[in-house]
């Protein structure tokens, strides 16, 4: 879309955001296809809504459209970082899950700012906390709840990033988990262990220097510090909220070690 050498001028946008503003597809499609009941129905009439269809974003789907998507077996790729960066809308993920749709996470790095699926998991949590307060799209926010139940937990976001994504690409039996017989796609995460202080006095400066020294000694340069009293759930939460590629020690793809951080 942005390669001036390969695309005609009318396909070249100054930015993805300006393209959204210029086309305003949601309003345009009913005018172009008045015989269709909805935007999703346009795809359905063209036999494009199938079990092999992956719909990115899904921030403008009405309840009837979500029902149609579910009946056709199509899946949803939720791209929260991209949606937030473009200001294009909020996906009602909890509602979609409750209605039986298959949802996974995507990055859409060209419309967002990061290719990291971990960042997508973080943003999925954050975006879900805003859904109940959205008034930009009444037909969408009206289907959400304002009692907090629309919020995704860390566990749920990581599920969408792993098993959810596997289900979206019809590989739920092969990837996304550690069940027996699955393909060994995995990463070993290293978190920094902060040594205990020899003093009981709460000295922030001292603790800060101690943490820095301990992390340097362990070779870890990540943002996640462990003090020894965290549960496994708390360690995972710390990693999801503050971790990045510096915490990735090893990566295996189809059982083959493809990356090691010294």
Q: Where are the domains of the chain?
A: 33-168, 186-260
Q: Which pLDDT value is given to residue 175? A: 97
CA distance 63 to 142: 10
Q: Which pLDDT value is given to residue 206? A: 53
Task: Give the residue carrying structure tokens 């979206």.
Answer: 168
Tell me the two tokens of residue 204: 């922030």
CATH topology of domain 33-168: TIM Barrel (3.20.20)
78 near 124, Cβ under 8 Å? Answer: yes
CA distance 30 to 38: 7
Per-residue pLDDT of the chain (262 residues; tens, 9 = 90+): 455 565 556 555 555 555 555 457 788 888 999 999 999 999 999 999 999 999 999 999 999 999 999 999 999 999 999 999 998 889 999 999 999 999 999 999 888 899 999 999 999 999 999 887 765 545 444 454 556 788 999 999 999 999 999 999 999 999 999 999 999 999 999 998 776 654 444 454 554 555 455 455 555 568 898 988 999 999 999 999 999 999 999 999 999 999 998 7
Q: Which pLDDT value is given to residue 207? A: 47
Q: Which pLDDT value is given to residue 200? A: 44
Tell me the two tokens of residue 22: 């210029």
CA distance 250 to 262: 9
191 near 214, Cβ under 8 Å? Answer: no
How many CA within 13 A on the CB side of residue 247?
20
pTM over 0.85: no
């Amino acid at each position: 879309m942005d390669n001036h050498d390969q695309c005609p001028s009318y396909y070249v946008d100054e930015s993805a955001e300006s393209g959204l503003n210029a086309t305003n597809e949601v309003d345009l499609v009913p005018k172009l296809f008045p015989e269709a009941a909805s935007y999703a129905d346009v795809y359905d009439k063209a036999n494009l809504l199938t079990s092999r269809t992956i719909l990115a974003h899904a921030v403008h789907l009405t309840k009837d459209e979500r029902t149609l998507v579910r009946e056709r077996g199509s899946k949803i790729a939720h791209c929260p970082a991209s949606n937030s960066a473009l200001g294009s809308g909020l996906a009602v993920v909890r509602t979609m899950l409750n209605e039986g749709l298959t949802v996974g996470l995507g990055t859409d790095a060209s419309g967002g700012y990061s290719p990291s699926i971990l960042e997508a998991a973080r943003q999925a949590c954050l975006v879900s906390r805003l859904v109940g307060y959205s008034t930009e799209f009444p037909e969408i926010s009206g289907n959400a709840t304002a009692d907090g139940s629309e919020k995704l937990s860390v566990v749920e976001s990581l599920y969408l990033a792993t098993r959810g994504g596997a289900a979206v690409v019809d590989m739920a039996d092969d990837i996304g988990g550690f069940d027996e017989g699955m393909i060994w796609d995995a990463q070993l995460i290293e978190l920094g262990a902060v040594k205990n202080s020899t003093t009981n006095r709460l000295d922030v400066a001292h603790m800060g220097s101690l943490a820095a020294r301990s992390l340097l000694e362990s070779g870890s340069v990540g943002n996640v510090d462990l003090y020894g009293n965290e549960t496994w759930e708390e360690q995972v939460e710390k990693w999801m909220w503050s971790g990045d590629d510096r915490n990735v020690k090893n990566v295996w793809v189809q059982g083959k070690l493809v990356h090691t951080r010294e």
